[in-house]
Amino acid sequence: MRERVIRDEIHRDILVPARIAKLIDTKEFQRLRFIQQLSTCYYVFPSANHSRFVHSLGAFHLATVLSRQIQDNQPGLLSDADAELVQIAALLHDIGHPPFSHLLENPAVFATFHSHEHWGRLLLESEETEIGLAIREVLGAAQLGRLFAVMSGESEHDGKPIPSFLKEIVSSQLDVDRMDYLMRDERNSGAQIGGFDVERVFRALRVGEDGHLFAMNWGQPAIEAYLVTRFHMYTQVYFHKVNMLTQSYLTRLLVRARILKQEGKLQLSRELNNMLCNESLTAAEYVVLTDAHILVALPDWAAHDDQHLSEDAQRLLSRRGFHKSLRIDELSLGMVDKVTETICEIVSTAGYDESRDLIQATISKSGYKPYVEGIRLEDGRDMSEVSELVRSLTQPTERLLIFVPEEVRDECETAARALIKPKQAHLGEF
């Protein structure tokens, strides 16, 4: 097998050595072609339908570029063997994702629930999966153990130390995973946030005497741009109200399908039955699951006699009949009980089912975390200590989204505002 070049919309040419191509050519890795990177985000941004497959290739490419940058800047610090481990860790970091990515990484959906990291470890450890056999062929038993240690952030393996920066390249505030998905998600969503110069960020990175990554002071503007891009991608894309609503539809649709299956009112495919009802799901059964198994069921579910199942399936198929969000930015999690009781009364009085037609979604995002998980500069200070812009990003984001039928939205908004800000209880005052 020869090395190959993969053409990518973000990074242009991605050079894949023959050893790495053996991993990519396994059915478990190829499965990632059929796992949406941004779950239901394409209901808002139609072109945001890229996959975990291309993201994983991008993370591999960035890990390759960064590891070579470290080798050039600080010769002798990073061996070729460890550089390859970092690149493989980046390539395989998403191998265990469920259908629709993080959305369905949810115990409400999976009868057998594990995190995607846990499933990924099972797939790589198995001698019955193609990826498990290929990784053993490529690395051998000793290096495979060190790979697992790097991926889990351990400080040593088999008596040999593992510098912290190896893990930080793959998972940290400034890792190749985040950098690729921000660049890729911005491009495919069309959000035009502004972006950042990943090459300049990489050129600024060094490894300190303590084994951790730090950035040269002149790299501060590039890192600020990266952090600002991350902030705006969350607020404008990942937390977009329609994205949050369609995620709610899909999740509760699958929960409803399980209930109907248990009641003998719905037939499920073998794959969906394994997802929803199998309480002892194996790695071999898990790894065949893709978005397609859900999507192909939607037309049948849209025609089902059960109103709850059919309505949500029809919504996702037609993008019609969506609930509408209350246009109140001040809704916080502490206001849930205060607001929802009143809104429930309005929804019920109008003849709607409050258990179905009052939908809540929580936006929760931790801010930039200095010191413990922060980004250090060459003088030892955290970015938040020298940058007012970064300090502004340390506050966590917590908001409540409430969706109701369009017919009662204005009435619900007026009632909610009367509770939150009694003096601003009418739409006209905003």
pLDDT at 368 (0 to 100): 81
Tens digits of residue pLDDT in 404-414: 999 999 999 99
Tokens of 380: 């030892």
Please give the torsion angle defined by the CA atoms of residues 177, 178, 179 and 182, in that order, rounded to the nearest 10 degrees: 120
pLDDT beyond 80 at 284: yes
What's the gap between Cα 80 and its chain centre?
30
Which range has the worst mean pLDDT, 22-31, 161-170, 415-424? 415-424
For the domain covering 323-430, report its CATH number. Answer: 3.30.70
DSSP state of 5: E
Between residues 110 and 425, the one the model is more confident about: 110
The CA-based diameter of the chain, rounded to the nearest angstrom, is 72
Beta strands in 276-351 (DSSP E): 324-325
Percent of the chain with pLDDT over 70: 97
At the fourth CATH level, which superfamily is domain 4-226?
A: Hypothetical protein af1432 (1.10.3210.10)
Q: Where are the domains of the chain?
A: 4-226, 323-430
Q: With pLDDT > 90 as the criterion, what percentage of the chain qualifies?
A: 88
DSSP per residue, 131-175:
HHHHHHHHHHHHHHHHHHHHHTT-SEETTEE--HHHHHHHSSTT-
**pTM, rounded to two decimals:** 0.94
Select from 154, 108, 123, 430 the least CA-distant residue to 257: 108
pLDDT beyond 70 at 360 = yes
Of 226, 272, 399, the C-alpha closest to 326 is 399
| Res. 427: pLDDT tops 50 | no
pLDDT for residue 422:
55
Q: What is the pLDDT of residues 56-92, one digit of tens each?
A: 999 999 999 999 999 999 999 999 999 999 999 999 9
| Contact between 260 and 306 (Cβ < 8 Å) | yes
pLDDT (average), residues 388-416: 92
pLDDT given at position 331: 83
- pLDDT at position 371, please? 56
Of the CA atoms within 13 Å of residue 311, those in its CB half-sphere come to 12
What are the tens digits of pLDDT across the range 295-320? 999 999 999 999 999 999 999 999 99
Place of tokens 């999966």: 129
